[in-house]
Amino acid sequence: MRPLDLVVVGGGVAGLAAADEAVSQGLAVALFESGLYGGLVSNVGALDGWPAAVSGSELAHGWKDRLAAAGVRFHEEHVEAVRAQGRRRIVKTDRGRYRAKAVVAATGARLRRLGVPGEEALTGRGVSQCAFCDAGFFRDADVAVVGGGDAALQEALHLAGYARSISMIVRGGRLRARPGYGARAAADPKFSFHWNSEVASIEGEGGVEGVTLADGRRLEVSGVFVFIGLEPVTALAGEGAFAAGAARRAGSLAEAVADGQRAAREAAAALRR
């Protein structure tokens, strides 16, 4: 087996793009993924801003299959640490150790949580961060979506196909989402908007029964979907890994792809020096 030139950590779009760029430059590449290929968009049913009409899962799996045929090795393993050892990198996973000449850390981001009373206890019992996974459980239900960015609106518009009403809880005085999303929500009588509002607590016995806002108002809902931004996963920063994608800067799929390609080109250039 050829020794590895490049290890890519993360099978989101930034990692897949990095592996694609590196293998096209003739490097021996392995990609490690500990969750779902596609990362943040693995459950998104209809991607926006992507040239083809595909789901996140279709995009990632189609891409992965093509890269596997081009020679990229895929490992379903969690990378615990990357250590520099002279000019080599030692990649320690939950299953073993690998040596590579360079590492791209495309470890992405996690959805932020509210951190309010009731959120943790009711997660999976009405509190969710995946409308594309859970909307079917909220047919004809009253639900709240927390957030005013693209992800919140994209998921809320999907929920609108199932729920009876959607209360958008928005921290600011306007949406940050692209105008097309806002216009669709505003035109749908199922939507109501609670501006300059924050969730203080989520209540319910065995399942969500309502949320209380910071100003004391209470909304009777049986579902709460939380999309209030991202926390980058930077656990592998340093030790000579090239960071790429949402681990470095939140943005669109296209930006994550471009950043993955950039990181792979920088890694390839470093190997030639």
Q: By the criterion CB under 6 A, which residues form the site for ligand FAD?
A: 9-15, 32-36, 39-41, 44, 47-49, 78-79, 106-109, 111, 151, 154, 233, 245-246, 251-254, 256
Name residue 121's amino acid. Answer: A
C-alpha distances in Å from residue 2, one per residue of 45, 99, 237:
38, 11, 26
**Which residues are paired to 92 by β-bridges?**
81, 97
- Residue 230 three-state SS: strand
Q: Which is nearer to ligand FAD, 163 or 257 (CB)?
A: 257
Q: Which is nearer to ligand FAD, 57 or 201 (CB)?
A: 57
Rounded CA-CA distance 80/38 in Å is 20
As measured in angstroms, the least distance from the Cβ of 44 to ligand FAD is: 5
Name residue 208's amino acid. Answer: V
Q: Which is nearer to ligand FAD, 105 or 210 (CB)?
A: 105
As measured in angstroms, the least distance from the Cβ of 205 to ligand FAD is: 29
As measured in angstroms, the least distance from the Cβ of 233 to ligand FAD is: 5
Rounded CA-CA distance 115/252 in Å is 26
Rounded CA-CA distance 47/133 in Å is 15
Q: Cα-flanking dihedrals φ and ψ of residue 101, to 5°? A: -85, -25
As measured in angstroms, the least distance from the Cβ of 2 to ligand FAD is: 22
As measured in angstroms, the least distance from the Cβ of 131 to ligand FAD is: 8
Q: Which is nearer to ligand FAD, 107 or 222 (CB)?
A: 107
Q: Which is nearer to ligand FAD, 28 or 54 (CB)?
A: 54
Rounded CA-CA distance 149/179 in Å is 10
**Residue the block writes with tokens 């005013």:** 148
